[in-house]
């Protein structure tokens, strides 16, 4: 089939690679405009644009998908399907019906759970043990279109978002190719999403990074897993910022009724801090502003942390 591919970041690369190597024809790639990156703010093309150009596939980088010119371009492409993987913008309603089979989206969750912009991160924040990928037909809603195929992916107990994204990208690439082959052969049909179990994830924001020690320890550990690499987690320590890179729940927690954020112990294995519901967490790796990232034993050589000190 003739397809036009909409995608932008690294997550979309495996799917485009699979399509390029398949019997389907990628006639055009649509991605977001180049953006400034790094200290010198050099204009840098999205990973998808670089891959497409390496295979001599025409690349479009419109600032907006609205307007008659964009619609006419899609009509002229005469494609069977639009494939969308982490494009970063909603596909406007007038475009949805132009391809013969509509737009097929790859979403990194088991819909209807975790609709919205941050499904991988919030699966971890919510403590899910299983997630997955879904191919669906786009409609005008936010990840509400009919489901085509799904595949489950186990979440490891130590997985972070940084580790889970590549796993889902590879499984999703396989599923997208299977979906297109099935649509071509007439063996894959869409089914409506159930509303039971549906939820919408919020956009990640920088202020999510500040630790609220009133949360239970397990919840804080899950937030660090979901917010790695961004926005991360930090707390305040002696008037400065302390970034947290390693955090474990302490089980069973030490007894006591100290207020959340109180240091219960400072030992080579980590700094134990009281959390909500009388739970406790151990900070095992950290970084003060202007200093290097280090494990707890190295940190405690330079910082004499005492029981009873307050974080946050």
127 DSSP assignment: T
pLDDT tens readout for residues 35-71:
998 888 899 999 999 999 999 999 999 999 999 999 9
Is there a domain that residue 275 lies in?
yes
* Per-residue model confidence as pLDDT tens digits over 69-84: 999 999 999 999 999 9
Q: Are residues 156 and 210 in the same domain?
A: no
pTM, whole model, 2 decimals? Answer: 0.95
Token pair recorded at residue 52: 């497409």
As for how many domains the chain has, the answer is: 2
pLDDT of residue 39: 81
Tell me: do 175 and 246 sit in the same domain: no
User: For residue 295, how many other CB atoms are within 10 A of its CB?
Assistant: 15
Residue 308 inside a domain? The answer is: no
pLDDT per residue as tens, the chain (312 positions): 999 999 999 999 999 999 999 999 999 999 999 999 888 889 999 999 999 999 999 999 999 999 999 999 999 999 999 999 999 999 999 999 999 999 999 999 999 999 999 999 999 999 999 999 999 999 999 999 999 999 999 999 999 999 999 999 999 999 999 999 999 999 999 999 998 999 999 999 999 999 999 999 999 999 999 999 999 999 999 999 999 999 999 999 999 999 999 999 999 999 999 999 999 999 999 999 999 999 999 999 999 999 999 999
* 181, 251: one domain: no
Q: In angstroms, rounded to a whole number, what is the distance separating the alpha carbons of residues 99 and 77? A: 9
Burial of 161 (0-12, 13-18, 19+ CB in 10 A): buried
One domain, residues 64 and 170 = yes
Q: Is residue 192 part of a domain?
A: no
Domain assignment of residue 191, yes or no: no
69 part of a folded domain: yes
181, 210: one domain: no
Q: What integer pLDDT is reported at residue 285 of this predicted model?
A: 98
- The residue segments making up the domain with residue 263 are 206-302
């Amino acid at each position: 089939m003739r397809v036009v591919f909409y995608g932008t970041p690294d997550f979309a690369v495996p799917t485009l690679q699979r399509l390029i190597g398949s019997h389907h024809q990628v006639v055009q790639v649509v991605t977001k405009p180049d953006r400034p990156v790094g200290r010198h703010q050099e204009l840098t093309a999205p990973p998808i644009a670089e891959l497409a150009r390496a295979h001599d596939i025409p690349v479009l980088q419109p600032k907006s998908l609205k307007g008659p010119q964009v619609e006419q371009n899609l009509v002229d492409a005469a494609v069977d399907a639009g494939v969308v993987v982490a494009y970063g913008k909603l596909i406007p309603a007038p475009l949805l019906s132009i391809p013969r089979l509509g737009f097929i989206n790859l979403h990194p969750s088991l819909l209807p759970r975790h609709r919205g912009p941050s499904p991988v991160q919030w699966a971890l924040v919510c403590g899910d043990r299983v997630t997955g990928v879904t191919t669906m037909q786009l409609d005008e809603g936010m990840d509400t279109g009919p489901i085509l195929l799904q595949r489950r992916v186990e979440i490891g107990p130590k997985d972070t978002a940084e580790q889970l994204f590549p796993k889902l990208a590879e499984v999703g690439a396989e599923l997208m190719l299977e979906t297109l082959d099935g649509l071509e052969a007439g063996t894959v049909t869409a089914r409506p999403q159930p509303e039971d179990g549906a939820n919408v994830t919020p956009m990640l924001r920088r202020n999510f990074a500040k630790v609220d020690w009133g949360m239970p320890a397990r919840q804080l550990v899950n937030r660090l897993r979901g917010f790695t690499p961004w926005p991360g987690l930090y707390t305040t320590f002696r008037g400065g910022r302390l970034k947290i890179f390693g955090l474990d729940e302490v089980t069973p927690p030490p007894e006591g009724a100290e207020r959340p954020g109180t240091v219960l112990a400072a030992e080579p294995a980590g700094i134990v801090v009281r959390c909500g519901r009388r739970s406790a967490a151990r900070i095992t790796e950290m970084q003060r502003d202007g200093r290097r990232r280090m494990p707890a034993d190295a940190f405690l050589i330079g910082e004499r942390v005492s029981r009873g000190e307050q974080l946050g």
